[in-house]
Every structure is written in C-alpha cells, then in structure tokens.
Amino acid sequence: MYGFYRVSAVSSQLRLADVKNNTAIIIETIQSQRDASVLLFPELSLSGYSLEDLFFSETLYTKQLKSLKRVLDATKGIDTIIALGIVLLDANRLYNCAAVLQDGKVLALIPKTYIPNKKEFYEKRHFNSGGDIIGRTVEMFDQQVPFGVDIIIQDAHYLSMGIEICEDLWSVNPPSNRLAANGATLILNLSASNELIGKSRYREMLVTSQSARAMCAYAYASSGFGESTSHTLFGGECMIAEYGTLLAKNEKFSHKTSLISADIDLQKLAWLRVAESSFSDLPRDSIRYVKAKNPPILKNIDINIDPTPFVPTNKDEKAHRCKEIIDILSYSLIARMQRSNIKKAVIGVSGGLDSTLALLATHQAFKLMDWNCRDIIALTMPGFGTTETTKKSAITLCNSLGVDLREIDITSIAQKELELLGHKNKDDVVFENVQARARTSLLMNCANKENGLVIGTGDMSEIALGWSTYNGDHMSMYALNSGIPKTLIRYLIEYFMDDAKLAKTLRVILDIPVSPELLEHKNGEITQKTEEIVGPYELHDFFLYHFVKYGASPSKILFLAQIAFDKKYDKATIKKWLELFIKRFFTQQFKRETMPDGPKVGVISLNPRADWRMPSDADMNLWLKELEEA
C-alpha cells in the first residue's frame, strides 16, 4: 500500500551449536511474523557465530543444511522474505552467507565480503571473502540458487533489497554503496557485533549515517546473549533506520528472542533518489535482480507521520536549530546589503507573523554587524482593514527593537485610486489589491529616498498558494522569508520570546488570526481570516512538503494526511483543501517565476532560480483526477 513495507529485525534466543533448538526458535518466529514484509535474523543464526574451529566440523555443517531445509519447508505458504545466516561450503571453501528465503524457496545466497581478522576477531581462519563471487549459482535442495555479491532482491512493486554482513558495514567502502547505486532501497545487515565501551553508539551512528548516505532504509540484527563469552560479550542489538532517522531499536542483553519492526516507505525513498541529481551520478554495474513474490500487503500501517514536516521535532535542539535558521536569514541579508553597498533596510510591519519574523531577523543582522538599528526603517501602513490590535502590536514591537518607525496611512491613497478607477465595490479583489500595491509602492519609493533595501515578508506557504498581490506584497528587493513556511515562522517567533521585553508583544502577535487585513474590519474585529478562505496552513505545509520533496501523488498525500492529522481533520476536509492546494499551486506559478531573490533555508525552496521549476501554464487535471478517484 503506497510503497510501505514492514521490516522486522530479530535477535533470536540462541544456544551455541544447538542447531535443532535454534531452528525451532527461528521457525516459531517466522510463523508469528506472517504480516512482516521482510524478516531479518543475525549472522550465522542457525549455528551461532562464535563456534571457532567447530566450523570445520562436517557434522555441524550437515546438521545446519538439514535444519535450513526444515526452515525452508516451514516457509511454504508464507510470503514474508526471510534473511538468516548460514555457512556455505563451495569449491572446498567456507563462506559466511545470508540465505534469503520465501515460500519454500531459496531466493539467493549472499556471501560476506569483508572478513575481520584483527584483535578479538580471526574470521579468516574459517571463512573466505565472497567479494569476488559474481554471476555464480550453486545447487541447493534440487534448485539452482543465485550466489554472489551482485544480487538485489525485488518484488513487482517497490521492494529492492540488498544484503551485507556485519564487517561489511564497517569497511571504507561498504557493499551497500554499490547495492544502493544499483537500486536497492532497503539494506539488511546480518551481524554478530560484540559489546565494548562506546561501540553501541558508534554502531548506531554507522547504521543511521549509512541509511542517510545511501538514501535507503537499513535494518540491522546482531547475535545476542547466547553467543560465547570466552573472549567477548554479544548484546543482540537490533536497529532499523530510514534516511538518517532511527526508527526502532531494541534493548540489549535479552535472555529471550528480541524483535523490532518498522513500516518503511520504500516508494518515497525511490522517488527521493530520482529528485537528487547527485545520486543519479553514481556508477551502475552488472547486478542480478532476483525476483521475489510480493510480500504481505500491510493492512494496518503503523507509522508516525509528522504533521509539521518543516518544524524540528526534537524540542531539546530548539535553540540550536532556531539560531541556525536565524543565522541563515541574517547573514544572507548582511551579504546582500554589503555587496549592494546599501546601509539601510526598509520593511513594512503590519503586526502579523511574517513581517514580525522579517523584522526580527533584520534586527539580528544589524546587531551582528553592530550597525545602527535606527537604519532599519519600519513602515506601518494602516488601511481600511487594519485593527487596533495589529497596529498596536507593530508599534510596540518596533519601539522595543529601537528601529526607525514611521506611520503612513494608506486609506486616502487607496481611496483616490479607487475613485480614479471608478470602483465602488469594497469586498472584491480590486479593493484589496489597490491597498497591497499602494503599500509596496510606498516601500519602494521610501527605499529609493533612503538608499535602502526593501525586505520582503511573504513566506513560502503564501508563495506556494500564490496568496499575494502580483507586484504588490509579491514584490520586494530581497525576499527574506521566502524559504520559511508558515508553520516554521510560528516556531521561530516563539524562539525570540526568551527576550522578556519582546515576549508579551510576540504572544499577542502569535494569537492574532492570519489575515492580510484588506477588507474593512467590523467593530475593530478582523473580518478576513486567511485560513477560513484557503484552509489551514498546517495542512498546506504538509501538502507542500510531500508534493515537492519527492513528488508524492495526491492520493498518497491524502492517505498520509489522514494518519498525521487523525482526529483533527476528517478525510473530506483534507481532500477539500488538498484540491484547493493543487489548483492554486499550478495556477499561481507565474508569480513564482517573477519572485525576487531570497535565501534557501530548508530542504525545499520555490524560487525558480534555486529549486523549483515548472511552466506557468502546466495542466493540473492529471493530479485533480487522481485525487478525485482516491
């Protein structure tokens, strides 16, 4: 369903050399995990890893093969893809291998490439590297089984799976690099990694960083407490990571079988790679793609979909992340002003979220450079819809920051232009846009007069929806907020509330409904609330992220949003605003084509000279039709 697969990693209860016991536990685990798409066991899971010279025993090897056949027979009728560790004897050489099984068949045998032979490990005494085995097959249980390091397992949909074994991950050039370059979006690692001080943290870093570098999901399962303690201890650690994020991790040192699971979006990973040009530069080589049956379809996807993908989830890192973002904004503005030989900044301050953040970031830039804050010219320009609350908030904020605050009432200017146009309607787009363009004209002319730079306040959410007046608030000399979505703007303003002299005013600003205040207010109350017209910005930011980041289809975005916003918005509501998002995103591209420069801050930018390029006259019906059928 939508490219989701359930991956499970297990550190099974183990008795060294007790192949019968180990096999029974493996079979029991397989039977209990029939809903898993992929089930991963540790390295040499049938016999145990730390048997040393007992691996030279024909008795052990023969028993292991018979037990593998028992496991194979037990998988008949089960579509879960299983990877477990075995010893393989081929051409008078022993290989440490992963056996991949499904529905009574051995799909592939993948040997370990890098054989550790240092300090507590002396694996070369027993095993050979399979790094040079390409294009081979071996006969096993009356079938020819692909054998080698050039194998990727695929189903008919989005599963594309490669395997490496323990030390392979620790090498300078892990096999997973090559596997990922050839399409593998899921890497399994069968491991037997011992415990040392600090090693667990380093293992986790390796797993998560490799999943990020290879743009893949990475599942890791290690041998546990049943291994030998003659020289070292094994903790049975299991981890699952996706594109740099750790999704699941078990508790080590369990005396029982320990299992973790995570539902992974392999469709998303595949399309992320398509969108990343650097990934497509990786060389491809000869790979065998072994076909598997489609694993079980997930009926109940167990995933945590972040409803605010642009907002950092780790609250402990809030100060660091906010400082990083504000630094990007501030230093971008500093560079632009220095290189343009401009000493003053001109900004329209309304008392709303966007102009507040732009003013705070501009003020921070001036503080960093020890410039005179009086060279920040803040124009507050009340019009027909301006309420006392927003006007007072703008004035209080500017006075607290010590900037040069100037007030210009635009009602007479707008009224004159409306009269010249012969326009009497007070609730249409003409009435609104006359005011927006009047404000922009004043900002531009003030900048000319003062040799200043007009700072744009429009955010990325508004840019996505085209919620701006063309050549009005759509235009500036530097679009400082253009890389910041609305949900992130709230987060950043909260960061500045640590300043006691700003906190009260910022709290008022955060509580004011989002509005352009272009329609006349009633009894001092805002009559034009943006989110009642275009929908909740938290939904639009969610749509924007998934649509632009990896090209998710409307039906998938709808599906993900239902999970992310469970109990807050029903399907009909989400679908309604998603349809509006698609329509506005397509029809408003012409505004993005002519938007001014502005700094990219996060993973997405809509600036046509930075990230997003599309024709202004592209047809949207393909996407609307797909959503209609969802």
Token pair in block for residue 402: 């010590």
Contact in structure between 87 and 97 (CB atoms under 8 Å): yes
Quick one: which of 184, 181, 248, 251 has its CA closest to 220? Answer: 248
> Which residue numbers are catalytic?
43, 112, 166
Q: How many CB atoms lie within 10 A of CB 104?
A: 13
Q: What angle do CA 556, 559, 563 make, to 5 degrees?
A: 140
What letters, b where the CB count within 10 A reaches 16 and e where it falls short, cover 582-593? bebbbebbebbe
Token pair in block for residue 285: 């080589």
Q: How far is CA 524 from CA 388, 521, 528, 532, in A?
A: 7, 6, 12, 19
CA distance 130 to 311: 45
CA distance 279 to 185: 12
Integer Rg of the chain from CA: 30
Q: How far apart are the first and last CA of the chain?
A: 13
Q: What are phi and psi of 20, to 5 degrees?
A: -60, -45
E strands present in 303-416 = 344-348, 376-380, 404-407
Token pair in block for residue 530: 């943006």
| Helix 318-339 vs helix 353-368: crossing angle, to nearest 10 | 70
CA distance 382 to 385: 8
Q: How many CB atoms lie within 10 A of CB 287?
A: 19
